[in-house]
Amino acid sequence: MTEKVPTPEELAERKMRFLFTLRSRGVTDARTLGAMEKVDRGVFVTGLFADRAYEDMPLPISCGQTISQPSVVGLMTQALNVQPRDKVLEVGTGSGYQAAVLSHLARRVYTVDRHATLVREARKVFDAMDLTNVTAFTADGSRGLPKQAPFDRILVSAAAEDPPGPLMAELRVGGIMVLPVGQSDAVQSLIKVTRTETGYDYEELRPVRFVPLLEGLGSE
């Protein structure tokens, strides 16, 4: 089977359609759209589903995990309101797509996944894309990343029943964390936690559905 190479016109049209869909689903922040325009999602989706990479849907990746839906990546990124000097932690590297988007907005991105295979694959893509400000580790992110803490921003790409205590503690005062919370087999809520001088403010953003945040390391 020969693969059809898209013409420059087809590539431009595909990108325009991708960005149009994001906008129509509520991703309106110019910096977020700019970052998403720079990251080709097709690079992160391989195998059977590669030709669906530009559609607004989650897709299967290795280790039984999923790459998130682009509009959800966009909505989470825009809620995180990343500033150019920020140090960001992402929990749940998966394919690396979300981390790559964040790398265009932040000074430094640390991303962790409990599956070593996913971390290895994501590192290869970061290198190929020359994203030098992203570092991926194999770790249980529900325990935070003490060596690199505190963080200005934390984005969690897997759902816990409650915001994990170590992540709350590693958020700088004035910092923001965006994460899905709720039972893994039900619809979860995307929430935004802002750390204040005296505690934490919570805002509920929208219903979402993510794979569960699991404790310990994965077997592959």
| Catalytic center residues | 68
Select 144 or 201, whichever has its Cβ closest to ligand SAH.
Answer: 144
Backbone angles phi and psi of 15, in degrees to 5:
-65, -40
Cβ 16 to ligand SAH shortest distance, Å: 22
For residue 19, count CB atoms less than 10 angstroms from its CB and return exposed for 0-12, middle for 13-18, buried for 19 or more.
middle
Cβ 2 to ligand SAH shortest distance, Å: 29
Select 54 or 174, whichever has its Cβ closest to ligand SAH.
Answer: 54
Nearest to 87 by CA among 97, 75, 102, 100: 102
Cβ 69 to ligand SAH shortest distance, Å: 10
Rg over CA atoms, the chain: 17
- Residue 11: which residues within 8 A CB-CB, separation 6 or more? none
Nearest to 171 by CA among 196, 147, 191, 190: 196
Select 61 or 193, whichever has its Cβ closest to ligand SAH.
Answer: 61
Put residue 45 in one of left, alpha, beta given phi > 0 → left and psi -120 to 50 → alpha: beta
Select 71 or 142, whichever has its Cβ closest to ligand SAH.
Answer: 142
Cβ 38 to ligand SAH shortest distance, Å: 15
Which stretches of the chain bind ligand SAH, using CB under 6 A? Answer: 65-68, 91-92, 94-95, 97-98, 112-115, 118, 140-142, 157-158, 211, 213-215, 218
